[in-house]
């Protein structure tokens, strides 16, 4: 059986990233079977393509998925915002797709629907769906992966992203501990970012605003990003996912260093200025439990 570690739904990290995380860091046993996988994770901030809101968005992420031996899978999850001023369920997710593994090749395709709270200030909060594919080849010394994804926004044009990832898994503790240093590069357009700026940044906070408890309407600031339609390098990342498996439990911790690229040129009623992007360190941790979908025989 293949155990695919669901990396805390790092859909904020790279979207469709759940698909990538499920197919990496895998451990095989002698049989293939269908199984369910439950996960409870914590992420200290929501970061997507190196972008994040000026206010941290820490999440608790419970999820449950069914993984059929044919490769088909279905996963549903929620994201609970734990920031003291704005505690709420901020997002529901539903993902379905297909995963495969054949000799040195592996990969898959998935589709995800996003249901954000109307007050969400997540940098992805205007995204409604994505379609993602990934293909990997294991060179033994390194595993190389190519990632392609299309993200659909509420009102703007869809974004296209490409990613190239390189990693290698080291084993310890009788192969129960997996350490996977990874380098990633992502490129794409920035329509999602323009939509986010138009709803959740520069005084355009939704609902009650920055957790201040005020329900007064806020004057909307129109924002345009000059590079929204351009295809540029958006983010370089270094991460070291750590995973420890004990019986049916999987414990994980993933530190990530993001180096965002291609500063946005913002045009508002007040003028034109260039955004200042900052490197960011963020992390996630979780615990998963899997169990076979096959009925156990009576003794």
Q: With respect to residue 163, please indicate whether it lies within any of the assigned structural domains.
A: yes
pLDDT, average across residues 279-290: 91
Confidence of residue 10 (pLDDT cuts 50, 70, 90): very low
pLDDT, average across residues 130-156: 91
95-122 pLDDT per residue, tens: 998 888 888 898 889 899 999 999 999 9
Q: 2-6, 191-195, 250-254: lowest mean pLDDT where?
A: 2-6
Q: With respect to residue 232, please indicate whether it lies within any of the assigned structural domains.
A: yes
CA distance 274 to 153: 23
Q: With respect to residue 98, please indicate whether it lies within any of the assigned structural domains.
A: yes
What's the domain range around 63? 2-292
Confidence of residue 27 (pLDDT cuts 50, 70, 90): very low
Q: With respect to residue 50, please indicate whether it lies within any of the assigned structural domains.
A: yes
Check residue 149 and give its pLDDT: 92
1 pLDDT exceeds 70? no
Q: How many domains does the chain have?
A: 1
Most confident listed range (30-39, 97-106, 158-167, 200-209):
158-167
136 pLDDT exceeds 60? yes
Check residue 34 and give its pLDDT: 85
In which region does residue 228 sit, left (phi positive, over 0), alpha (psi from -120 to 50) or beta (all else)?
alpha
Check residue 17 and give its pLDDT: 44
pLDDT, average across residues 209-237: 72
Q: With respect to residue 133, please indicate whether it lies within any of the assigned structural domains.
A: yes
CA distance 144 to 60: 30
Q: With respect to residue 297, please indicate whether it lies within any of the assigned structural domains.
A: no
Q: With respect to residue 85, please indicate whether it lies within any of the assigned structural domains.
A: yes
CATH code of 88's domain: 2.40.160.40
Q: With respect to residue 299, please indicate whether it lies within any of the assigned structural domains.
A: no
The burial class, CB within 10 Å (0-12 / 13-18 / 19+), for 159 is: buried
- DSSP SS3 for 295: coil
Rg (CA), the chain: 20
């Amino acid at each position: 059986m293949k155990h695919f570690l669901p990396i805390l739904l790092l859909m904020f990290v790279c979207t469709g990233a759940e698909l990538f995380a499920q197919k990496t860091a895998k451990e095989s046993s002698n049989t293939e079977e269908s199984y369910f996988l439950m996960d409870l994770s914590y992420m200290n901030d929501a970061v997507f393509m190196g972008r994040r809101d000026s206010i941290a968005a820490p999440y608790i992420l419970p999820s449950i998925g069914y993984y059929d031996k044919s490769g088909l899978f279905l996963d549903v999850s929620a994201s609970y915002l734990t920031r003291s001023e704005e505690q709420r369920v901020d997002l529901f997710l539903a993902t379905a797709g297909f995963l495969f593994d054949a000799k040195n090749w592996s990969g898959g395709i998935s589709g995800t629907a996003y249901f954000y709270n109307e007050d969400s200030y997540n940098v992805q909060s205007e995204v409604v769906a994505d379609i993602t594919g990934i293909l990997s080849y294991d060179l033994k010394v390194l595993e190389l992966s190519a990632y392609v994804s299309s993200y659909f926004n509420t009102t703007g044009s869809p974004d296209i992203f490409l990613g190239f990832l390189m990693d290698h898994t080291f084993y310890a503790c009788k192969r129960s501990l997996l350490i996977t240093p990874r380098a990633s590069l992502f490129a794409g357009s920035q329509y999602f970012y323009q939509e986010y700026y138009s709803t959740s940044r520069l005084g355009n906070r939704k609902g009650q605003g920055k957790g201040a408890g005020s329900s007064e309407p806020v004057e909307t600031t129109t924002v345009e990003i000059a590079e929204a339609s351009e295809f540029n390098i958006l983010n370089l990342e270094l991460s070291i996912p750590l995973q420890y498996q004990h019986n049916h439990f999987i414990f994980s911790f993933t530190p990530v260093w993001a180096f965002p690229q291609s500063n946005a040129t913002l045009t508002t009623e007040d003028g034109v200025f260039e955004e200042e992007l900052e490197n960011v360190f963020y992390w996630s941790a979780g615990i998963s439990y899997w169990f076979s979908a096959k009925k156990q025989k009576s003794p």
